[in-house]
Structure 1
């Protein structure tokens, strides 16, 4: 029987979301006759974990659904065994990249990928704890329907199932590697308040997320569309497109990936950096792998914790680190796009070594430059590209001080860490390259290790 992994990583209380995602798992198992492993990776505190255990215990039995609820100690124990089995270099460093002490959107999803490998799953389907399903006709709108229908099947077969096809015929024999939709509701990045306070500052700040080189008219459109997902229109019926899915059309709370993607390349394990989990969407697109874009969008909302002073400061720093990381990642994406067909081997599988080279070249490592990034302010030693990264902090400093209020506190916090943040952005990419090198042996070790069911 085909096994798939529906995963919900969380570091907050989300009993209602667990129940909703369990409903999606049951629906998928019933419709498609698959075994759905619902994997809750729990990094929340003890009281929240207890609430999650209670919520899982209250779930009605569902044929074909197996539930796994793992706290960080259980995750660490398994990962340590798999890392030792893999024989990769620097095992302690790899464990730290897989389970860092700080929040990492990429690392939590990487753990889901490896547990899915251990469980023998053919695909991973991710949801988020700060989102809910739309309803239509009184029933929840589950994206898993489209993900299970298409993932892993040749694009030529899937073309008969979708509303329309915009896929180049040259790719029709390749399997569908990604199925995804977007979100409706609140912006995925919490910057709406900036727009209401000062539209000009909003354009300056959000404009930092747009890659360099776009004509001004295009930049304006990209700024207007940034972080808005599919807007606010509700679901009224299915529309699906077979295509090379554009990265800005998909959200990581609403995605399914074939194991031929995540089994070869992980996500960047950067800490305290929003958006670090979108790398594979770019890779699938640039490698010319087929995908399906659908309109079963998930509803995004912002948690109350983000409204507190501490939550606000932490989030804005994560946003700043995203903008810093984007300076390097945009260069990686340009290299991936230029590599194109060279990203795949003769069997149509992703070449991890080529991807790692693109990552290393973005920080100068490919030219043998010094990769020690422990100094806070020596920009010459870090490379001239750091000057461009520091420009991001200059724009944020000016913008946030103009907004005043609690944004001034963010500006102060960023200023205090100015050189360190620039160094971290580069070091995060170096860590990513190391993890790519270790990934395939690690994934293979997880498959060999196996993973006992934890109900």
Structure 2
């Protein structure tokens, strides 16, 4: 029986999402005969964690579905077991534990934990959802992305070519397995910058433009800025449409994605702290390696939680956005090299050569800091022009300026270090077996 991991990482209240994702898990088990492990990785404060435990306890038992709700202590115990089995030295184990379970928010680290736990559970894929998302409904029934993910993920591309609405596979890639399946979102922008766009379109362009690689013609750059963070817009689901091809990272959202284990068992996500967007690394990698992907239109409904609308939540999120714009100075150098490498990133069996990717990441650490400093100047000036509550963002960035510059570089060094040890960790995780997951 096929065993898969449907995961919900969270650090905030989301009892409704827990109930909804449990329904998706039940659907996958019922419709596909799969064994679904619903994995909730919970970093919420104690009162919220308690409410989540009640929500999990209230879930109806579903044939083929096993629910794992792990708080940070339970996740840490699992990671310690994995690190012990991987025979890391004490100092190395402590550093890796800090990268896998940091004290600050890390979108990459929480997904990396899901990857390792999925290995221990014997799952062949990981399917990620987020706490600030809901499902679309048609005729009273939810539209579950898991349907397309389980249909295509891990299948030989040539075998499923005819079942897709359209196919644009690169020559010679038909024997490769579908490495990623995903859709986008409808509703609110994935990044909370709509107010900036509405208030000052020029400043919005300055900020969002920093996320794009250089060298685009102005007309194409203009298009990319307009399309950034908007997902599938305001459309509604009106029937399945699928495309089998290497899929662009801009067309898939990390709240609506599934990865085959042949990808995440070799390469992790960057464990950058307090930084959005870096968890899209694997989407860039599988696209640039020209691995088959499945893009579908079962889009998630995105919304912004009330926490993000508080003064504290607003400041924290805007700083994470600023850190992403600094991180892209380094990430774009890696993406340029993986794009140039193309399918030479793959070995003879069609698997990503992790050591090559790690080398690209390590080389990026030596990037001339002049570009990163320039970006920080642009960010500071943009927030000051916006004024109002954005002035506090600018002041916070100015106060943390040396630290932000150091962290942008150090995050890549941490990523390279994690990559050097990742395959040993995934092997050790698989060796723990499901009994270690409480």
What's the CA shift string for 1:151-205, capped at 9, x where partnerless?
A: 1110011112211111124111101000000000000000000111111111111
1:142 corresponds in structure 2 to 144
Structure 2 gap segments, 5+ residues each: none
Query: Any conservation in 1 of the 2:170–2:290 contact (CA below 8 Å)?
Result: no
Determine the C-alpha separation between the residues in 2 that align with 1:40 and 1:142: 18
1:277 corresponds in structure 2 to 279
Query: Any conservation in 2 of the 1:94–1:435 contact (CA below 8 Å)?
Result: yes
1:393 corresponds in structure 2 to 376
2:420 corresponds in structure 1 to 437
Partner secondary structure for residue 233 of structure 1: coil
1:405 corresponds in structure 2 to 388
Partner secondary structure for residue 236 of structure 2: coil
Query: Any conservation in 1 of the 2:78–2:436 contact (CA below 8 Å)?
Result: no
Mean CA deviation greater in 160-169 or 307-316:
160-169
The structural deviation recorded for 1:453 is: 7.3
The structural deviation recorded for 1:254 is: 0.3
Partner secondary structure for residue 127 of structure 2: strand
CA pair 454-264 structure 1, distance change in 2 beyond 3 A: closer
Partner secondary structure for residue 23 of structure 2: helix
The structural deviation recorded for 1:342 is: 2.2
Mean CA deviation greater in 4-13 or 335-344:
335-344
1:173 corresponds in structure 2 to 175
Partner secondary structure for residue 434 of structure 2: coil
What's the CA shift string for 1:49-82, capped at 9, x where partnerless?
A: 1111111111111100000000000000010110
Determine the C-alpha separation between the residues in 2 that align with 1:434 and 1:311: 31
Determine the C-alpha separation between the residues in 2 that align with 1:320 and 1:341: 32
The structural deviation recorded for 1:451 is: 2.8
Query: Any conservation in 1 of the 2:78–2:437 contact (CA below 8 Å)?
Result: no
Alignment RMSD = 1.0
Question: How high is the TM-score relative to the length of structure 2?
Answer: 0.98
Determine the C-alpha separation between the residues in 2 that align with 1:115 and 1:160: 34
What's the CA shift string for 1:96-142, capped at 9, x where partnerless?
A: 00000000000000000000000000000000000000001210000
Question: How high is the TM-score relative to the length of structure 1?
Answer: 0.94
Determine the C-alpha separation between the residues in 2 that align with 1:289 and 1:454: 32
Query: Any conservation in 2 of the 1:67–1:454 contact (CA below 8 Å)?
Result: no
The alignment covers a number of residue pairs equal to 436
Aligned pairs for 1:249-288 (under 5 A) are: 249-288=251-290
Determine the C-alpha separation between the residues in 1 that align with 2:286 and 2:199: 38
Partner secondary structure for residue 361 of structure 2: helix
Determine the C-alpha separation between the residues in 2 that align with 1:217 and 1:169: 30
The structural deviation recorded for 1:45 is: 1.0
The structural deviation recorded for 1:88 is: 3.3
- Segments of 4+ moved more than 6 angstroms: none
2:14 corresponds in structure 1 to 14
1:88 aligns with 2:109: no
Partner secondary structure for residue 170 of structure 1: coil
Query: Any conservation in 1 of the 2:117–2:437 contact (CA below 8 Å)?
Result: no
Partner secondary structure for residue 396 of structure 2: helix
CA pair 87-453 structure 1, distance change in 2 beyond 3 A: closer
Structure 1 gap segments, 5+ residues each: 365-382
Determine the C-alpha separation between the residues in 1 that align with 2:20 and 2:242: 23
